Structure 1
Amino acid sequence: MAASRSRRFRRSCIPSPRGSASIVQAESAVKLAKSNWDRWQQLADRGIAPAATAEQMKSQWEQAVATLNVNKARAGDRTIKAPFSGIVGLTDAAPGMLVNPGAAIATLDDVTVIRVDFPVPEQFISVLRDGLPLTATADAYPATTFSGHIAKIDTRLDPATRSVTARAEFPNPDGRLKPGMLLRVSIDRAVRKNPAVPESAVIFESGEAYALKIERAPPGQAGAPGGAPGGRPPQGAAARPGANGGPQAGPALIAVRHAIQTGLRQDGLVEILSGLAISDRIVADGTNRIRPNDPVSLVGQAGRRGQNGQGAPAPGGAAAGPGGAQRRDAPAAGPAGPA
């Protein structure tokens, strides 16, 4: 056998010497037996030799043909054929080594597609189906996610573990996945695309969930234009500067409490099923220091740092509530992760 480590073979025979001494000897015996039979048959037809002798020569020729066929079959058993294209791994076989029937002398692997068998609990059988996409990770490549699909699902459950075995296939064009590696398989039951907000923006009270949505103050309310004497903002609210540094006229903002319905939690976010829209602005944190309908102003619109050292916080938040405590606001946007 002429095979080297990690050598790739197509579906064919591994090179071996052509013919053998036994086959050459058997072929020669067939030719001799055929020649003897032909000669004695001619003599028997002319009445010179007995017909029994011709029949005996024919029998010898048939035996020589049978011996040749046996030797050819044995030679085929000594030829190792690759049942599929793949890569030959390490082998301890050496030229001249005696190999017993059934002994493993090498490994052949087709790693273009890796198949993984894994158990799935009984309660998730309704999710499984042929072609279901899934992902897998390996300890050897912690930052890489491999994508595949379910190719086949077993027809029976294991009565001991109450699970069914599913077979997944992962394309492996670069050969990074090796047979025998440990893979962690994940199946996404569903992907939910709903708005999500930070956990700090949700207020839980008496089994209900609320969020403080930033809205325009209605006319006549404190903080709205004309709602306070002289148009001044209430105590604790940040004023918006005008072009000359004075208070800027414009709609006042308040924090309105809205009941919401929450869903899943993941990575510091809470899924919003109802009560908020993606375009809504909310108070992202500091909700325990602000009351419903308190006036607010968006951070970044409260002015820039002036000569007196007073100024607005960095953009991206809101200044609101009594005492001028600052709050960050965030849009209720971004899909929640997979369920």
Structure 2
Amino acid sequence: ENAQTELDRRQKVFDKGFAAKADLDTARMLRDRLQADIERTQALIAQKSIYAPWDGRLGLRDVAVGKYVAAGQTLIWLQSVDPIYADFTVTESDFGRIKVGQKVNAKFSAYPDDSFNGEVTTTDARVSASSRMITVRAKIANADGRLVPGMYADVTVTVGEPQPVVTIPQTAVTYSLYGDSVFAVVKAKNPDPNAKEPGLEIERRFVKLGMTRGGRVNVVDGVKPGDQVVIAGQNKIDQGSKVRIDNSIALNLTVDRNTQ
């Protein structure tokens, strides 16, 4: 500002013919040099401002005010939290059933009573050489910001259409080297004609089992819907044993009804 004032004053004196042109040029050069210094300083100040490349949440600072920092030094973490991405692995045999757009359900230990919905966005282009697994990425909405990067998630992918299955409690299955079996309650082949109730007996059936979930096991073959099976006390019965169903005694069995 002072240099500009001095230049204006010398310009007026020069216009009246009382100053040499060299003095006017010196004042103009001084003004231009000072203006260049100001612009250079402003450019340096602008370089010291850091702008976030995307929207997100800032973490804790790794530096304090007034501390000197070096090029490439971490100052603070910026995390994108909405949406948030969950990476999980699947086996080669399951990979063929994974498709982009499939719905996923994720549960986190921080919120054991809540589940978070999302969808598959992409898959890795290779199989891990160490684990022989393939990484799948799902996108989960996180508008409230409850989920933070680094959390562990239990992810379930909804594959295909729901299929009706036959399930029984795991306690009904007798596991052995000769095959898995259950004791079914069927009508007696030779009932007592004098009996007041229909005769029932035990029939041992070998079964083919599927997946297990929530204390129940899927029976692929060997048991049909509506069949009655023994779920406790198998050591007291055998093939052909006569039985009577007494539903007045309630068994103390905890079953997750959501899996039935």
Q: Do the aligned residues in 2 keep the contact of 1:87 with 1:110 (CA within 8 Å)?
A: no
Question: Secondary structure of the residue that 2:244 maps to in structure 1?
Answer: strand
CA–CA separation in structure 1 for the residues paired with 2:33 and 2:67:
33
* Shift in CA distance, 34/79, structure 1 to aligned 2, threshold 3 Å: farther
CA–CA separation in structure 2 for the residues paired with 1:64 and 1:171:
54
**Gap runs ≥5 in structure 2:** 252-256
Amino acid at match of 2:209: G
Q: Do the aligned residues in 2 keep the contact of 1:212 with 1:287 (CA within 8 Å)?
A: no
Q: CA deviation at 1:274?
A: 4.1
Say which is worse superposed, 125-134 or 49-58, in terms of deviation.
49-58
Partner of 2:49: 79
Instruction: Tell me, yes or no, if structure 1 residue 104 matches structure 2 residue 74.
Output: yes
CA–CA separation in structure 2 for the residues paired with 1:295 and 1:137:
49
Q: CA deviation at 1:93?
A: 0.8
Indicate which of 240, 246, 260 corresponds to 1:299: 246
Partner of 1:214: 186
* Shift in CA distance, 111/257, structure 1 to aligned 2, threshold 3 Å: same
Q: Tell me the alpha carbon deviations over residues 107-126 of structure 1, each in whole angstroms, 9 at most, x when there is no partner.
A: 34444444344555545432
Q: Do the aligned residues in 2 keep the contact of 1:114 with 1:169 (CA within 8 Å)?
A: yes
* Shift in CA distance, 55/30, structure 1 to aligned 2, threshold 3 Å: closer
Partner of 1:282: 229
Q: Tell me the alpha carbon deviations over residues 134-168 of structure 1, each in whole angstroms, 9 at most, x when there is no partner.
A: 43444xx3845653444332334444554444334
Indicate which of 113, 122, 126 corresponds to 1:152: 122
Partner of 2:168: 197
CA–CA separation in structure 1 for the residues paired with 2:69 and 2:171:
71
Question: Secondary structure of the residue that 2:168 maps to in structure 1?
Answer: strand
**Gap runs ≥5 in structure 1:** 1-27, 234-238, 241-251, 301-313, 318-333
CA–CA separation in structure 2 for the residues paired with 1:30 and 1:144:
71
Q: Do the aligned residues in 2 keep the contact of 1:214 with 1:283 (CA within 8 Å)?
A: no
Aligned residues: 246
TM-score by length of 2: 0.62
Q: CA deviation at 1:189?
A: 7.3
CA–CA separation in structure 2 for the residues paired with 1:29 and 1:150:
65
Q: CA deviation at 1:271?
A: 1.8
* Shift in CA distance, 98/188, structure 1 to aligned 2, threshold 3 Å: closer
Q: State percent identity of aligned pairs.
A: 20
Partner of 1:263: 209
Q: CA deviation at 1:258?
A: 7.6
Amino acid at match of 1:126: G
CA–CA separation in structure 2 for the residues paired with 1:36 and 1:120:
81
Partner of 2:106: 135
Amino acid at match of 1:222: P
Partner of 2:254: none
Q: Do the aligned residues in 2 keep the contact of 1:194 with 1:335 (CA within 8 Å)?
A: no
CA–CA separation in structure 2 for the residues paired with 1:158 and 1:222:
62
Instruction: Tell me, yes or no, if structure 1 residue 315 matches structure 2 residue 256.
Output: no
TM-score by length of 1: 0.51
* Shift in CA distance, 136/65, structure 1 to aligned 2, threshold 3 Å: same
CA–CA separation in structure 2 for the residues paired with 1:65 and 1:124:
68
* Shift in CA distance, 189/64, structure 1 to aligned 2, threshold 3 Å: same
Q: CA deviation at 1:299?
A: 0.7
CA–CA separation in structure 2 for the residues paired with 1:261 and 1:33:
104
Q: Tell me the alpha carbon deviations over residues 285-305 of structure 1, each in whole angstroms, 9 at most, x when there is no partner.
A: 44562543x6543214xxxxx
Q: CA deviation at 1:71?
A: 3.0
Question: Secondary structure of the residue that 1:166 maps to in structure 2?
Answer: strand
> Residues 1-339 of structure 1 correspond to what in structure 2 (within 5 A)?
28=1, 31=4, 35=8, 39=11, 66-83=36-53, 84-94=55-65, 96-132=66-102, 133-138=104-109, 141=110, 143=112, 146-147=115-116, 148-159=118-129, 161-172=131-142, 175-181=145-151, 183-188=152-157, 190=159, 193-202=164-173, 207=179, 209=181, 211-215=183-187, 221-223=190-192, 227=193, 232-233=194-195, 239=196, 252-255=198-201, 257=203, 261-264=207-210, 266=212, 268-286=215-233, 289-292=237-240, 296-300=243-247, 314-316=248-250
Question: Secondary structure of the residue that 1:298 maps to in structure 2?
Answer: coil
Q: Tell me the alpha carbon deviations over residues 187-229 of structure 1, each in whole angstroms, 9 at most, x when there is no partner.
A: 44757641212345456796585642434x68xx533xxx3xx
